[in-house]
Each structure stands twice: as C-alpha cells, then as structure tokens.
Amino acid sequence: MAKKGLSMDSFCTWDGETLVLNILGQPSAKQDAIGKAKGNQLKVSVTAAPVGGKATDHMVRFLAKEFGVATQDIEVVFGRYNVNKQLRIKSPKKLPSVIDKQLP
C-alpha cells in the first residue's frame, strides 16, 4: 500500500508506509464524520468540544477506527489545539473512500 513522494499539494500523501494527512477539524459537530477535501485539507468533524485538546484526542480515536489502526499509530504532527492539523497514520489497514480516490 505504500507509495513514494511527500508532495503536499493534496490533503494526503505517503511517506513510506505512513499516510500523512492535512486536516481541517470541526469540533462540536452533530456527528463524527470524514468530510470532503477543502483545498489541501480534509475536513473531519467530531462531536467533542475544543477544550484542552479533547477534540483532537477524540478525532484520533475516531480516525484510528476508520483506518483500522491503534490510536498510538496516529501521530499529531501539529495542530493539537488548532483546527488546522497534520496527522501521520502508520501502516493504515483500510482507507476511507475519499482518501483512496485521492492517492495515486
């Protein structure tokens, strides 16, 4: 599943076996959901409130299920306390369709 190249003109790319995602987070949403691409970011909504990084923690747990990985396989590179985030997902077992379509 691994691809080469770390060009971030898209919201996602491969770095070896690791999937790198640029995310636009939406806290306090009605439901947890992976949305559409907005420029070079993927919109991800979570129900958790943006208090002390709790929304980011909730997002990591939600995305771990979506990608079939353990929560410790997801690293928050930056944006723990911000809606603009970058995550690194180590060896994802499955890819949501919006990401699968985007990757070469």
In a domain, residue 26? The reply is yes
Residue showing tokens 């987070």:
25
Domain contains 85: yes
The count of domains in the chain is 1
Query: What's the pTM value of the predicted model, to 2 decimals?
Result: 0.89
Per-residue pLDDT tens for 45-74? 999 999 999 999 999 999 999 999 999 999
Residue 81 lies in a domain: yes
Low-confidence stretches of the chain (pLDDT < 70) are 1-8, 104
pLDDT at 10: 84
* Structural domain includes residue 1: no
Residue-wise over 36-75: b if at least 16 C-beta within 10 A, else e?
ebeeebbbbbbebebeeeebbebbbebbbebbebeeebbe
Q: Is residue 3 in some structural domain?
A: no
In a domain, 53, yes or no: yes
64 and 57 Cβ atoms separated by less than 8 Å: no
52, 72 in Cβ contact below 8 A? no
Three-state DSSP at 94 gives coil
CA 38, 18, 25, 77 torsion-angle sign: negative
Domain that holds residue 50: 12-91
Q: What percent of the chain has pLDDT over 70?
A: 91
Task: Indicate whether 7 belongs to any domain.
Answer: no
Residue 4 lies in a domain: no
Kindly report the CATH number assigned to the domain that includes residue 80: 3.30.1200.10
